[in-house]
């Protein structure tokens, strides 16, 4: 319902809508903390070991613990044990007080009953979260948005919160009860929680500066802190599960020397890989696709403007799909300029959409920020359905540089792939919003922040083409949005070519061009094995504003070449690494960073798993 209609609602309907929205937000936090509880089950062995050590310290302590178990009390050693457990659990988090308050009270009162520790954690976390979320939702529900841009911003908030709720519900279903099974879910948990954190940032960013933005930020503060703590716990538990339950873990340690620990703990986040070399999440149809050219693909549905297919528009085609479909479907979009705004919704999973070429099959639009559309909503083509594969298609936003933010393609879909595609706009061309994304042999062109977002995204063998901006503007290739240090996100440019387009080439010396700037506090971007032409300024990177994020970001270059690859005059920021080791660079290749591996023998979908050199 549009915001303009809110004033016409009766008090009863307003209360009903508010109550529904509260329930959604409550569910969002509830599922998050349940995830923490499920994860916490993985550290049961450690907790039991810790308690046994305490109980073995004296016969009296043992008797007290036994007595406490029968009576419901904690025993003399209860506070000591519980405090150590809480300290261990909460040590890596940034918001320790919330963590300790949520966990400490219940653990203290049940210190001698280790078998219900996950339930205790859930109970404690839910109680604390419910109080905070209730406050936040009550505050948000009372906000008045009188300006059109604030009303539009709140619509964005409602969408991303619904995404968070839906996604966490599915995440909960995927988390098994067995600790050993949980180990293989760690990469997914990190990805989902990172996305949930990013959704909240998206909500805040949608608002123009002012009182209402500050109010929204304050209202969401507690939820962000709980998700941040969850991300920290996932990393901690990942290490524990790898040590205790992975093949060659603790049981095998007595027989074999310990393996060298890799940077970022990437081994603990890798998925199970099948006999054919593909990860578990890479389905049968993707395997087929990886060994075929587009000429051999067989379409289930054909879209053609000239009427020679099943549909004349992409939207009509998507509307025809069954909501319950889970098998992969192939949609062939014939040559033509499709002037429509397309959204591949979350229910539209496992779609392969391919065209006749990135300059022949083109989807185009011109929504933009200057005309009053929030950046999130400007995308010509948006993908939220998991497992999307786009091949040989073009995505345009023709608004022009004077219209500022104008997105050609927004990708929110997890495990999405774009091959031989073309993204054209000026500012904010490609919004790599969330989750795991892979781009191969794509042509991406723009001016300011033309690749931005908070996904874990690798761009391999891509042409990154800088266009001529407005006279008072500078060019920035990337603006990565990692807002929490525990998110598993970042932008990786591998074996790419950063270059000017033909119109910008004659005047490139008149404009500054940079590899990236930090959109958020922990922005992470790696440029490696790429060709950097002489349009890039010797300093390489541009600050966002003042000293913001310069100490907390992670920017790195590795084994680049070309006229502007010399790092001797690069920025001197604490977070910038002008040279990283080969071992560290390996962490940002396809397998450890995206938990993905693809067959390598087809030029259309060739994926290089490691470093090129």
Report the relative pairing of strands 361-365 and 336-339 from DSSP bridges.
Answer: parallel
Quickly count: other Cβ atoms within 10 Å of residue 313's Cβ: 16
Which residue shows structure tokens 């969002």? 28
Q: Which residue has the tokens 């007290």?
A: 64
The pair of structure tokens assigned to 48 is 């039991």
How many whole angstroms separate alpha carbon 333 and alpha carbon 529? 34
CA 527 to CA 557: how far, in whole Å? 5
CA distance 61 to 75: 8
Asked if 533 and 496 touch (Cβ cutoff 8 Å), the reply is no
Give the C-alpha separation, 85 to 319, whole Å: 52
d(CA 472, CA 512): 10
> What's the CA gap between 517 and 549, in Å, rounded?
10
Which of 163, 428, 449, 537 is the catalytic position?
449
Report the distance separating Cα 233 and Cα 226, nearest Å: 11
Spatial separation of the C-alpha atoms in residues 608 and 613, rounded to whole Å: 11
598 forms bridges with which residues in the sheet? none
Q: Is 449 a catalytic residue?
A: yes
Rounded CA-CA distance 58/77 in Å is 10
Four-residue CA torsion sign, 200, 201, 204, 206 = negative
Under 8 Å between Cβ of 447 and 469: yes
Q: What Rg, from alpha-carbon coordinates, does the chain have?
A: 25
The DSSP letter of residue 455 is: S
Q: Using CB atoms within 10 A of its CB, is residue 578 exposed (0-12), middle (13-18) or buried (19+)?
A: middle
Report CA-CA distances (Å) from 554 to 333, 480, 518, 542, 550: 40, 10, 9, 13, 9
Cα-to-chain-centroid distance, residue 111: 37
Residue 344 main-chain phi, psi, to 5 deg = -85, 105
**Rounded to whole angstroms, how far apart are CA atoms 436 and 431?**
13
- Which residues are annotated as catalytic? 449
């Amino acid at each position: 319902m549009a915001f303009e209609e809110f004033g016409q609602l009766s008090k009863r309907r307003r209360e009903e809508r508010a109550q529904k929205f509260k329930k959604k937000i409550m569910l969002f936090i509830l599922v998050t903390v349940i995830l923490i509880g499920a994860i916490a089950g993985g550290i049961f062995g450690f907790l039991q070991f810790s308690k046994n050590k305490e109980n073995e310290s004296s016969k009296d302590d043992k008797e007290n613990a036994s007595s406490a178990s029968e009576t419901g009390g904690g025993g003399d050693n209860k506070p000591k044990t519980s405090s150590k457990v809480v300290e261990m659990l909460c040590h890596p988090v940034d918001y320790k007080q919330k963590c300790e308050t949520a966990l400490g009270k219940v653990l203290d009162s049940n210190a001698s009953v280790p078998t219900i520790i996950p339930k205790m954690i859930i109970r404690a976390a839910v109680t604390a979260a419910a109080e905070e979320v209730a406050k936040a939702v009550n505050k948000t529900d009372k906000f008045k948005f009188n300006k059109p841009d604030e009303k539009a911003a709140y619509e964005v908030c409602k969408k991303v919160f619904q995404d968070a709720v839906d996604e966490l519900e599915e995440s909960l279903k995927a988390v098994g009860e067995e600790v050993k099974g949980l180990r293989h879910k760690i990469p997914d948990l990190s990805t989902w929680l990172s996305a949930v954190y990013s959704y909240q940032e998206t909500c805040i960013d949608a608002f123009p500066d002012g009182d209402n933005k500050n109010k929204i930020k304050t209202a969401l503060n507690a939820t962000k802190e709980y998700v941040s703590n969850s991300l920290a716990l996932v990393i901690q538990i990942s290490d524990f599960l790898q040590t205790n339950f992975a093949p060659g873990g603790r049981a095998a340690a007595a027989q074999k020397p310990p393996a060298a620990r890799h940077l970022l703990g990437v081994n603990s986040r890798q998925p199970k890989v099948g006999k054919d070399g593909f990860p578990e999440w890479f389905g049968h149809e993707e395997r087929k696709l990886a060994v075929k050219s587009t000429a051999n693909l067989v379409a289930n549905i054909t879209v053609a403007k000239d009427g020679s297919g099943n549909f004349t528009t992409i939207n009509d085609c998507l509307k025809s799909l069954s909501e319950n479909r889970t098998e992969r479907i192939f949609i062939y979009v014939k040559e033509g300029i499709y002037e429509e705004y397309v959204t591949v919704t979350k229910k539209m999973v496992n779609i392969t959409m391919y065209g006749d070429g990135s300059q022949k099959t083109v989807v185009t639009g011109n929504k933009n920020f200057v005309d009053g559309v929030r950046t999130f909503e400007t995308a010509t083509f948006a993908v939220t359905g998991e497992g999307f594969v786009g091949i040989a298609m073009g995505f345009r936003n023709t608004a022009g540089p004077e219209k500022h933010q104008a997105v050609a393609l927004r990708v929110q879909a997890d495990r999405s792939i774009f091959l031989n595609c073309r993204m054209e706009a000026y500012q904010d061309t490609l919004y790599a919003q969330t989750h795991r994304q892979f781009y191969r042999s794509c042509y991406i062109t723009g001016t300011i922040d033309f690749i931005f977002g908070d996904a874990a995204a690798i761009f391999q063998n891509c042409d990154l083409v800088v266009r001529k901006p407005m006279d008072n503007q500078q060019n920035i290739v990337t603006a990565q949005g990692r807002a929490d240090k525990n998110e598993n996100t970042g932008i990786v440019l591998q074996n790419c070519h950063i270059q000017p387009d033909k119109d910008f080439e004659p005047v490139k010396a008149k404009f500054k061009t940079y590899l990236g700037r930090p959109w958020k506090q922990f922005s992470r971007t790696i440029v490696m094995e790429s060709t950097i032409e002489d349009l890039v300024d010797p300093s390489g990177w541009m600050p966002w504003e003042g000293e913001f994020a310069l100490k907390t970001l992670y920017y790195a270059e590795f084994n680049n070449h070309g006229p502007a690859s010399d790092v001797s005059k690069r920025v001197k920021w604490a977070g910038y690494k002008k040279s990283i080791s080969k071992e560290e660079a390996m962490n940002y290749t396809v397998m450890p960073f995206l938990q993905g591996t693809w067959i390598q023998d087809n030029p259309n979908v060739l994926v290089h798993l490691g470093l090129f050199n």
